[in-house]
Structure 1
Amino acid sequence: MESQYLFPHHFQQQERYIESFIEARAKAIAPFIWGFDSIHLNESALHEGKLGLNLARGVMPDGCPFELPVSAQLPTPLQISAGVKQQLVYLALPIYQAGARHINLQDSPSGLSRYILRQLDVYDYSSDSANQETIETAELQFQLVLESASLGGYTALPVARIQEVTQEGAIILDRNFVPPCLNAANENRLMTYLEDVIGLVQQRAEALAVRFTQDNKDKSASAIVDFMLLQMLNRFEPSLQHLKSLKQLHPERLFELMQTFSGELATFTTKGKRPAAHVRYQHDNLHLCFPSVMAAINKQLSVVLEQTAIPIKVEKRQFGVFVARLSDRSLLTQARFVLAFKSGLQTDKLRNYIPNHLKIGSVETIRDLVNNQLTGITITSLATAPREITYHAGCIYYQLDAQGDLWRSLQKSGGFAFHLAGELPQLEVEFWAIRES
C-alpha cells in the first residue's frame, strides 16, 4: 500500500467540503436561514457613546453559526463619534479568501483574519486519570463595524441603527429597527405586531358576535357579509394565537400569515375588493415590510362596515294595522324602503291582493287614510328581491314611492303604519330600509 503525506491542506480542504455540504443542504430545505436567533445590546454602554453586545446567537449570511460569548468572545464595543446619524452597525466576520491567512496566530484581535488562535485546556474523558492537555484552537473573530466603513471582505449582520449621538456623547438608537432574525419570538417588536393584530381581531370578532347572538333573524345581504367576516376572523384568530405561543417562530412564517390575513380582509373592507400593492418580504429589512402590512391591517379592521340593508321591526296591532318605528329619520332621504309579504295564498294571488288592500302612511295619518278611503303612500311591485336582501321563496316585494306630502310628513312622525284589509292566512311582513350607495 502506498503511503501519503498528510498536510494541513488536507484537513482544511475536508473542513471546507463539510461546511459547503451542510450549507448547500440547508439552503435547499428553507429560505432565509440566516440572522439572529437572539441578541442583547449593552444598554449601559450607550450612555458612554459605545455600542456593544451582551450576547448574540444566530447564523451569519455565509452559513456560519455562532453563539457569543460561548463559542467565541464578544467583539470589542464600538466607540461612536459625534455627528454619526442614521447609520447601521454591523456584526462582521471576515470571509474565506483564497490565498489569505484565515487564522491570526497572535493572541490579539486582528480585523484581517476569520479566526484567532486560542489556548484551550481539555481533558481525556476516556481515561480515569483525567489527563489535561493544552491545545490550540481556532476561534471566530467578530467585530462591530459602522455602515460608513468598508464591509468588503466581510459577511455581516446589522445589529442596530444609530439615530443620532447627543451632545453629551450618548447614543440614541432607532427602536423601530428590527435586525434580520431567525426567531421572531425573541424579537419584541415583531411580537408586539402579532399581539396588536390578535387584539384587533378579538375586538372586531366580539362586536360582530354580539350582533348575531342578540338578533339572529337578520337575513339581509349586509348581515351575511358580516357573518362571513366573523367566520374569517374566527378562522385566523386560533392561527395567530398559535404563532404567539411558539418558542421558535421564523419571521417569514409570521409575515406570510399576516399578509394572507390582510388579503382576505380586503375582500370585505376595500371598494375594489382586492388587496393593495403587494408588500414583499425583506429578511434584511424587517423594519420596513412588517410595518407596511400592519398599517394595512389596522386600516382594514378600523373600517366600519356600514349596514346597507337595515331591517325595521314590524309590530302587528288591532284591526289589520301594522306599525314600524323609525329611529333614524335620515334614512327617509338616504334609503329606499321595501316591504316583503308572504302568506298561505299562492304567490300570484297575493301579488294581486296586496296593492288593492294595502294603505301606507304615518302612525298619525293611517286612521284618516283608512276611514276616508285615501290612497296613501304608493308602492311599486318588484320582480325580484333587491340584491341587498336575502331572497325567500314565496315572498313578494314592493318598493315605497318616496315622494309627496305624506312622505315628507314622516320626518316629524313616530314611524310608518300599514293597514291591510281582510285576513290572510299565515301572513308574514318584513320591512327594510336599503341605504343608497
Structure 2
Amino acid sequence: MTMESRPLTRVVWEEGMHLAQHHFQAQGRFFEHATSFALSSLYFAGYGFSGLELDGESLLNGTVSLRQARGILPDGLVFHFPHDPPPAPLQIRDRFSPTRPSHVVHLAIPEYRAGAANTAKVDDPDVELRRFVAESREQTDEISGEETRPITFGRKNFRLILDEELDDGGPLVTLPMARIIRDGRGNFVFDPEFIPPVLRIGAVPALGELLARVLEMVDARARSLRPSGAPPEVAQMWLAHALHQSLPALRHLRETRGAHPEALYQELARLAGALCTFALEARADELPLYRHDDLGRCFGELERHLRSNLDVVLPTGSYRLELDGTGHPFYEARLTDHEVFHSGRFFLGIRGDLSVGELAGRIQRVVKVCSAEHIQRLVREAFPGLDLSHVPAPPSTLRPSTGTQYFELRKEGPCWTLMEKSGSFGIYLPDSIPNAQMELVVLP
C-alpha cells in the first residue's frame, strides 16, 4: 500500500455502538497512517536506519547476524532490535553466487494488505506471507504490579534476504542493509564503501568516517591558504572564502552526527560546486544527485570530486599540521588521511635564537620524532627516533619561513611504522633550543 493510497479516516465512536475487533484495528491503522503521513510530509526520504550494528565475526563463518538496528521502513513501520524480536540470522555460504562479486542483504517484511489477513499464528502454513505473527506474553497490571494475564501481541515478521530473493515469497517491504563481498583470502566481509539508507549521519560508521576525511582535507587546504607575509592573490582569497564558509557547518555535522544525510550532501555539493569555479575541467552539472537508496556511490563521487579539484587548485601546494603543545616539551599532531601519509612528504621546520649552523646541529642531536603514543617512552629510555634529513634549500612549494631550518622526515624504520599505523606525530623539542618555534609541513 503506497503512502498516497492509505486512508486517513478516523473511527467514529458513539454511545451504544456494538464493539468488534474491527473498530480497534481500524483505529490503530488510522494512527499509523497519520503518523507516517506526517513524517513523509515533513521530511525528505524519511526512512532508513537510525542505528545499525552487524556482527562481522559471524560473517566470517558465513552468517549474517544483527547485533542491533533501529529505524523506519519505507512504508512507515518502525523497528528497534533487539527490543523487537530480531530476524533470524541468514546463512549465506550456500546462497552466495560463485559468479557474482557481491550480494546485498535486505531487511524484509511482508507488506500490509488491505482487506486481507495480515496476522498469522506461529503454526499457520502461510506464516511467511503475513506481516505479523501472533504471540502471547504475560503482562503485569501496571497499577497493582501483581496480577498478570496473557496478552496477544503481533510480532513483526522480519527476515533477512539476499537481493536475488526479493521477488520470492510475495510482495515485501525491504530496506538494503549491507553489501557482502569476498576479501583476498576468500572470506566473507562487509563492503566498507556501502552505505545503506540512513536517517542520521551517525547511524553507520562509514558516513561519519567519510565526513571526517573530507573535513580534514578541507581544513588542511584552508590552513595552507593563510597569509604568510605577501598579499594573497584574488583567486586564493576566493578559494579561502569557499573553504572557510563550509568548515563551520561541516564541523557541526561531525559533532552532532544527528542530521539527515541530505544535510551533509547539501554542504558537500555546495562546496564542490564552488570549487568548479577554480577547476577548468570540472562542471557543476556533473555533480552526483542525492540518492537516498545509493548513498555510498553518491557520497563517494562527491568525495572524489572534492579531493581531485582541491588538488587541481593547489597541485603542488603544501599545508601545515596543527601542533598540540599542551604537553611541553612534547608536541603531537594528527593526520587521518592515509593516502597522504603514504604518498606525501613531511618536513619539520624549527627556528630559534641560535646561528644557522649551531641550530641545525643541535636539532639533529636533541629533537626526536616518533608516534604520539610512543614519543615519551622513546625519550625516557633514550631510544633513537625517526631519522631527520637536513634540507638546506627546501623546495619553494614548501613556502619556507625565513630563519627556519627544515628537516625531511625519513619514512622508514620502526618509528615510521608506528606513526603510519596510528596516524599521529609525536615530537620532542627540549628547551636547549632557546625561543624555539616549530612547524610540521605536509607536501602532498
Deviation at 1:2, TM superposition (A): 7.0
Unaligned runs of 5+ in 1: 308-437
Cα deviations by residue, 1:185-208 (Å, 9 ceiling, x for unpaired): 232211122111111112111111
Cα deviations by residue, 1:398-429 (Å, 9 ceiling, x for unpaired): xxxxxxxxxxxxxxxxxxxxxxxxxxxxxxxx
Task: Report the CA distance shift for 1:277/1:304 in structure 2 as closer, same or farther (over 3 A).
Answer: closer
- Equivalents in 2 of 1:167, 1:302: separation in Å? 35
Alignment of 1:6-155 (within 5 A): 6-70=19-83, 72-80=84-92, 81=94, 83-84=96-97, 85=100, 86-106=102-122, 110-127=127-144, 130-151=146-167, 152-155=170-173
- Equivalents in 2 of 1:90, 1:121: separation in Å? 32
- Equivalents in 2 of 1:291, 1:97: separation in Å? 38
Task: Report the CA distance shift for 1:14/1:35 in structure 2 as closer, same or farther (over 3 A).
Answer: same
Unaligned runs of 5+ in 2: 1-13, 317-444
Give the conservation status (yes or no) of the 8 Å contact 2:69–2:80.
yes
1:313 matched residue in structure 2: none
Deviation at 1:175, TM superposition (A): 2.1
Deviation at 1:157, TM superposition (A): 0.5
Q: Give TM-score, length-normalised by structure 1.
A: 0.63
Deviation at 1:166, TM superposition (A): 9.2
One-letter amino acid of the structure 1 residue matched with residue 110 of structure 2: P
Give the conservation status (yes or no) of the 8 Å contact 2:121–2:127.
no
Task: Report the CA distance shift for 1:35/1:303 in structure 2 as closer, same or farther (over 3 A).
Answer: same
Task: Report the CA distance shift for 1:138/1:306 in structure 2 as closer, same or farther (over 3 A).
Answer: closer
1:184 matched residue in structure 2: 201
Correspondence 1:289 to 2:289: no
Task: Report the CA distance shift for 1:173/1:265 in structure 2 as closer, same or farther (over 3 A).
Answer: same
- Equivalents in 1 of 2:212, 2:257: separation in Å? 15
One-letter amino acid of the structure 1 residue matched with residue 103 of structure 2: Q
Identity of aligned residues (%): 30
Q: Give TM-score, length-normalised by structure 2.
A: 0.62
Give the conservation status (yes or no) of the 8 Å contact 2:133–2:154.
yes
Deviation at 1:120, TM superposition (A): 2.1
Alignment of 1:279-428 (within 5 A): 279-305=288-314
One-letter amino acid of the structure 2 residue matched with residue 175 of structure 1: P
- Equivalents in 2 of 1:149, 1:271: separation in Å? 43
**Which one has a bigger Cα radius of gyration?**
1
One-letter amino acid of the structure 2 residue matched with residue 204 of structure 1: R
- Equivalents in 1 of 2:207, 2:163: separation in Å? 24
Deviation at 1:259, TM superposition (A): 0.4
One-letter amino acid of the structure 1 residue matched with residue 130 of structure 2: S
Deviation at 1:106, TM superposition (A): 2.0
Which secondary structure does the structure 2 equivalent of 1:256 belong to? helix
Alignment of 1:140-289 (within 5 A): 140-151=156-167, 152-164=170-182, 170-209=187-226, 212-216=227-231, 223-270=233-280, 274-289=283-298
Task: Report the CA distance shift for 1:2/1:178 in structure 2 as closer, same or farther (over 3 A).
Answer: closer
- Equivalents in 2 of 1:157, 1:104: separation in Å? 23
Which secondary structure does the structure 2 equivalent of 1:180 belong to? coil
The size of the alignment, in residue pairs, is 296
Which secondary structure does the structure 2 equivalent of 1:268 belong to? coil
Cα deviations by residue, 1:346-387 (Å, 9 ceiling, x for unpaired): xxxxxxxxxxxxxxxxxxxxxxxxxxxxxxxxxxxxxxxxxx
Task: Report the CA distance shift for 1:235/1:179 in structure 2 as closer, same or farther (over 3 A).
Answer: same
- Equivalents in 2 of 1:166, 1:79: separation in Å? 21
- Equivalents in 1 of 2:47, 2:238: separation in Å? 39
One-letter amino acid of the structure 2 residue matched with residue 205 of structure 1: A
